[in-house]
Amino acid sequence: MMEIRRANAKDIPQLLRLLSQVLEIHAKIRPDIFVSGTTKYSEEDLRLMVANDSNPIYVIGEGEKVYGYAFCQSRIPKFASTMKRKKTFHIDDFCIDEACRGKHLGQALFAFLIEEGKRLGYDEITLNSWEGNEAANAFYEKMGMKTRSRIMDLPLTEE
């Protein structure tokens, strides 16, 4: 039976495998930025992260099998007199195993995050998504997200 739960140390090998899938998508889109064959977090990073209650990692799976994850962070933007202060539930990283996509696991995990964010008293959910990752962007829009801002770049050197 599919369940969503907090990640634990036993999940780290599977989290690394999924982090690699995400990195390779990004490396194909922006090889000038991402290094193929790496992961965003190391095994040691993940050991610390799974124990951090302030920035939870949630997984979706069956028993010991992990089919997806959401790395979350609590953010309170710095005070600015021109913007409303909101408590933000930020999704730092989100992935569903490429072998499991199309089975609505991402929708289930995202719906869980919405309810968890409400339960924990957040005002909004945010995430960053890379331009060119059309499947992810379409998914996030389907989940009700809208583009708030864009970061643009102009490389000044050639790779």
In CATH, what is the architecture of 3-142? 3-Layer(aba) Sandwich (3.40)
Distance CA(100)–CA(78), nearest Å, equals 38
Whether 62 contacts 2, CB under 8 Å = yes
Q: Strand (E) positions, 15-105?
A: 57-62, 65-75, 88-96
Q: At 76, is the pLDDT very low, low, confident or very high (cuts 50, 70, 90)? A: confident
pLDDT in tens, 101-138: 999 999 999 999 999 999 999 999 999 999 999 999 99
Sorted by where each begins, the domain ranges of the chain are 3-142
Question: Is the distance from CB of 15 to CB of 66 less than 8 angstroms?
Answer: yes
What is the DSSP-derived secondary structure letter of residue 81?
T
The answer to whether the pTM exceeds 0.85 is yes
Cα dihedral value 52, 56, 62, 64, nearest 10 = -20
- Tell me what the pLDDT averaged over the chain comes to: 95
